[in-house]
Amino acid sequence: MRSVTLNIRLFFQGALLSYVALFRWLSPMTYLASKVLMPLAQILFFSFLGMYATGQANASFYVIGNAIQLAAVSGIFGVTMSIGGDRWEGTLPYLFGTPANRMAMFVGRAFFHVLDGMVGVVLALMWGVLLLGLDLSHANPLALGLTILVATFSTSGMGLLLGCISLITLNVMFINNTVYFSLLVFSGANVPLSTLPAWMQSVAWALPLTRSIAAARQIIAGGSLAEVAPLLWMEVLIGAIYILAGYFLFRWFERQAKLRGTLDIF
Partner 1 sequence: MAPLNAIEVRNLRRIYRTTIGVIRRRVKEVVAVDDISFDVAPGELFGLLGPNGAGKTTMVKMLTTLLIPSAGTARVLGFDVVDQADPIRPRIGFIFGGERGLYWRLSAIDNLRYFASLYHVEPEIARKRIPYLLELVRLDGRGQEKVEGYSRGMKQRLHVARTLLHDPELLFLDEPTIGLDPIGARELRQVIRNLQSEKKTILLTTHYMFEADALCERIAVIDHGRIVALDTPEGLKRHVRDLSVIELEVYGIPPELLDVLRALEVVEAVTVENRDQKQAVLVQSPGGSEAVPEILAALSGLRVGKVIVREPTLEDAYVRLVGGEVEP
Q: Which residues bind partner 1 (CB under 8 A)?
A: 3, 6, 9-10, 13-14, 17, 20-22, 24-25, 89-91, 93-100, 105, 258-261, 263
DSSP letters, 64-99, are HHHHHHTHHIIIIIIHHHHHHHHHHHT-HHHHHTS-
For the bound state, the minimum distance from the C-beta of residue 260 to partner 1, rounded and expressed in Å, comes to: 8
Residue 49: phi, psi to the nearest 5? -65, -45
Q: Which is nearer to partner 1, 55 or 97 (CB)?
A: 97
Rg of the Cα atoms in the chain: 19
- C-alpha dist (Å) from residue 70 to 39, 114, 127, 227: 7, 12, 12, 24
Q: Which is nearer to partner 1, 6 or 126 (CB)?
A: 6
**If we measure between CA atoms, which residue out of 131, 101, 130 comes closest to residue 10?**
101
For the bound state, the minimum distance from the C-beta of residue 116 to partner 1, rounded and expressed in Å, comes to: 16
For the bound state, the minimum distance from the C-beta of residue 225 to partner 1, rounded and expressed in Å, comes to: 37
Separation of CA 108 from chain center: 14
> What's the length of the chain?
266
Pairwise CA distance, residues 117 & 121, whole Å: 6
Q: Which is nearer to partner 1, 55 or 99 (CB)?
A: 99
For the bound state, the minimum distance from the C-beta of residue 93 to partner 1, rounded and expressed in Å, comes to: 5
Pairwise CA distance, residues 46 & 57, whole Å: 14
Q: Which is nearer to partner 1, 101 or 140 (CB)?
A: 101
For the bound state, the minimum distance from the C-beta of residue 132 to partner 1, rounded and expressed in Å, comes to: 37
Q: Which is nearer to partner 1, 107 or 121 (CB)?
A: 107
Residue 24: phi, psi to the nearest 5? -70, -25
Q: Which is nearer to partner 1, 138 or 258 (CB)?
A: 258
For the bound state, the minimum distance from the C-beta of residue 262 to partner 1, rounded and expressed in Å, comes to: 9
Q: Which is nearer to partner 1, 242 or 253 (CB)?
A: 253
For the bound state, the minimum distance from the C-beta of residue 265 to partner 1, rounded and expressed in Å, comes to: 9
Which uninterrupted H or E stretch holds 44?
A: helix 28-54
